[in-house]
Amino acid sequence: MNVADLGLPVEVPSTALFTDQYELTMLQAALKAGTAERRSVFEVFTRRLPEGRRYGVVAGTGRVLDAVENFRFDEDVLGFLRERKIVDEETLKWLAGYRFSGDIWGYPEGEVYFPGSPIMRVEGSFAECVLLETVILSILNHDSAVAAAASRMASAAGGRPLIEMGARRTHELAAVAAARAAYIGGFATTSDLAAGFRYGIPTVGTSAHAFTLLHDRERDAFQAQVDTLGRGTTLLVDTYDVTEAVRTAVEVAGPELGAVRIDSGDLLLVAHRVRHQLDELGATNTKIVVTSDLDEYAIASLAAAPVDAYGVGTQLVTGSGHPTASMVYKLVARAETTGPDAPLVPVAKKSTGGKTSVGGRKWAARRLDAEGFAEAEVIGTGPVPAALSDRQLLVRLVEGGEVVAREPLDVPRDRHIAARANLPLSATQLSRGEPVLPTEYVHGRSGS
């Protein structure tokens, strides 16, 4: 049973303090100024992709929905804020009853995005929306960075399965989120049991070098593992001498041996030698799994090698050199008064240094070429052109404070495969380049 995002098999604590202090001090000032209840629109977007990346991957949406639902100021949280004198009693009283009651729209999880794409749009009063900035960004920035790295690795793997095994290379809770994002990006399994429990991701694992070193002989270690896990297990063959270990592995498990794992050395050369040796020993169906500090470039370099699966850790959970997606959360429209029917007016930051933004409540659509492939990311305000009406990207995630878009984790995983396949072929190139789709803006009235 896949429990991903269909409920919480573990309790999630309040997420109310996953925030920056200035969000609460802004709230206090807005309450005093009488502007806190002005209807507002915030958008999540990135001004640029990480250097050399050709597309981004939306990941973390399901975790954002959990975080919004659990954004509650209980007595312990309020007591902390009171003790530190972070906000006044009037603000504390307001926070005690906080429940997000607005609407959230966004690119569906697993979809690709480009510079300027309104990845998520949060609508409601200024007070209730501004508090969600940090928690939304922390989730989307981390998960989207990992998913983008995973997607590149999956493309480089060319259909060979990928194992996520980076839990020991990052924070213990980040490891669970990274495994989830990696699964969306194209990984098949994870070594992290917490990720398997929380999200239903398939888990794998057999033994490390310590198990071989524990025994007096490598043969004894192999025999113990086969006796316990069966002949279809994966034996680690690079603790001592690879050639001798492969010979011993087949002698112990027979030609039914499931796989051997190589974790060091010249993987291209060793994989060819091991494949030749396995075939000579009659273990023609025994697979070869390689690990050892892989990234998308190393995986691509092994495309011609007789490798059946890859295990990736450090480079995956750190975004393969880009640990954040550099997303921001900006106010783009707000009402002039607190009246429920007051029209929205666009607002935008105007500054030097490349930190400008485009005002107005936006829609987004993906224009296709004559062959049905994506050719442009079109972003606009006001009415959506008829030609793009059936190509809109944003979907409703929260309506009136209620989550309306939970889905099993396999859905965004499949969605990403389809979205990536719809991009121009150059999207999967690992060489440095510009975003594979241009971003085009269509300006109109901001709408209300």
pLDDT at 2: 45
Q: How many CA atoms lie within 13 A of 167 on its CB side?
A: 17
What's the rounded Cα separation, in Å, for the pair 250 and 228? 16
Q: What is the pLDDT of residue 177?
A: 97
Predicted TM-score (pTM) of this structure: 0.94
Question: How do residues 273-310 score in pLDDT, each as one tens digit?
Answer: 999 999 999 999 999 999 999 999 999 999 999 999 99
Q: Angle of helix 21-33 relative to helix 89-96, nearest 10 degrees?
A: 100
CA 108 vs CA 87, 239, 441: distances in Å: 36, 45, 21
State the pLDDT at residue 320.
96
Q: What is the pLDDT of residue 352?
A: 67
What is the per-residue pLDDT for 447? 47
DSSP code for 385: P
**Tell me, what's the pLDDT at 110?**
98
pLDDT of residue 25: 98
DSSP state letter for 203: B
Distances in Å between the alpha carbon of 163 and those of 80, 154, 194, 316? 42, 10, 15, 10
Per-residue model confidence (pLDDT) at position 12? 55
d(CA 165, CA 189): 9
Q: How far apart are CA 177 and CA 199, in angstroms?
A: 9
pLDDT in tens, the chain (448 residues): 344 445 544 455 689 999 999 999 999 999 999 999 999 999 999 999 999 899 999 999 999 999 999 999 999 999 999 999 999 999 999 999 999 999 999 999 999 999 999 999 999 999 999 999 999 999 999 999 999 999 999 999 999 999 999 999 999 999 999 999 999 999 999 999 999 999 999 999 999 999 999 999 999 999 999 999 999 999 999 999 999 999 999 999 999 999 999 999 999 999 999 999 999 999 999 999 999 999 999 999 999 999 999 999 999 999 999 999 999 999 999 999 988 889 999 999 887 666 778 999 999 999 999 999 999 999 999 999 999 999 999 999 999 999 999 999 999 999 999 999 999 999 999 988 899 999 999 987 544 4
The CA-CA-CA angle for residues 378, 380, 383, to 5°, reads: 115
Domains assigned to the chain:
21-146+329-442 (3.20.140.10), 148-321 (3.20.20.70)
The candidate with the shortest Cα–Cα distance to 332, out of 49, 129, 61, is 129
**pLDDT, tens digit (0-9, with 9 covering 90-100), for 181-190:** 999 999 999 9
Are the CB atoms for 57 and 148 separated by under 8 Å? yes
Contact by Cβ (8 Å): 129, 105: no
- DSSP symbol at 65: H
What CA–CA distance (Å, rounded) separates 69 from 13? 10
Residue 107 · residue 393 · CB < 8 Å: yes
Which amino acid belongs to residue 42? F
The amino acid present at 14, given as its one-letter code, is S
Residue with tokens 């939304």: 136
Q: 236 pairs with which residues across the strands?
A: 261
Question: For position 3, what pLDDT does the model report?
Answer: 46
- DSSP H helices, 37-132, are 61-69, 75-83, 89-96, 126-130
Contact 334, 38 (CB under 8 A): yes
The residue to which tokens 């979907």 are assigned = 395
